[in-house]
Amino acid sequence: MTAELNASERETWRAFFVMRRQLELTLERRLQADAGISSADYEVLISLFEAEDKRLRAGQIGDIIGWEKSRVSHQISRMESRGLVTRQECGDDARGVWVVITSDGRRAVLEALRDRTTAIREVFFDVLTEDEVATLNAISIRVLDRINPPICAEQNVLTG
């Protein structure tokens, strides 16, 4: 029961670490160049876009993306000033707000989604076999369950 990593584990960790950094960097650059938004903007827009009524409470956004509430609030303010989202009063609970995607926001997220999908295909799935995709999926779920042990027998929700 040693805490050390063996040679192939160290090699794999390094390769994985560098790969995901380069991957993020590449996707971020393309997002900025193609749709003119940052990764943070994209994360907010895509969660709104995928929501039932194209709107979410500020707190929900934080839960989905994994941000603290003040980061959400500042981010929403910046996006609001750029016309990507608006805030609306919340009838159910006067303490809360709805964050709603605007038509400009929808336009931006659609463009981003298209470009991003192309990029992900080009630099990622195009060089993976079907088996490798399956393995990576299994690995990811197992590591996630390790980090956040699932409550009862539920699966992890993969809410990001």
Convert 98-118 to b/e letters by CB count within 10 Å (16 or more is b).
bbbbbeebeebbeebeebbee
By CB under 8 A, is residue 51 in contact with a second copy? no
Binding a second copy (rule: CB under 8 A), the pick from 66, 83, 96, 150 is 66
Q: For the chain, what is the largest distance between any 2 Cα atoms, rounded to a whole number of angstroms?
A: 58
Which of a second copy, DNA, none sits in contact with 11, Cβ below 5 to 8 A by type? Answer: a second copy
Nearest CA to 78 among 108, 33, 37, 25? Answer: 37
What binding mask, one character per residue, do residues 43-82 give for DNA by CB under 7 A, x or -?
A: --------------xxxx------xxxxxxxxxxxx----
Binding a second copy (rule: CB under 8 A), the pick from 36, 77, 110, 148 is 148
By CB under 8 A, is residue 14 in contact with a second copy? yes
Strands of the sheet with 85-89, listed across from one edge: 55-57, 97-101, 85-89
Binding a second copy (rule: CB under 8 A), the pick from 7, 15, 34, 57 is 15
Binding a second copy (rule: CB under 8 A), the pick from 33, 147, 152, 153 is 147
For residue 82, count CB atoms less than 10 angstroms from its CB and return exposed for 0-12, middle for 13-18, buried for 19 or more.
middle
Binding site for DNA (CB under 7 A): 38, 40, 57-60, 67-78, 87, 90, 93-97
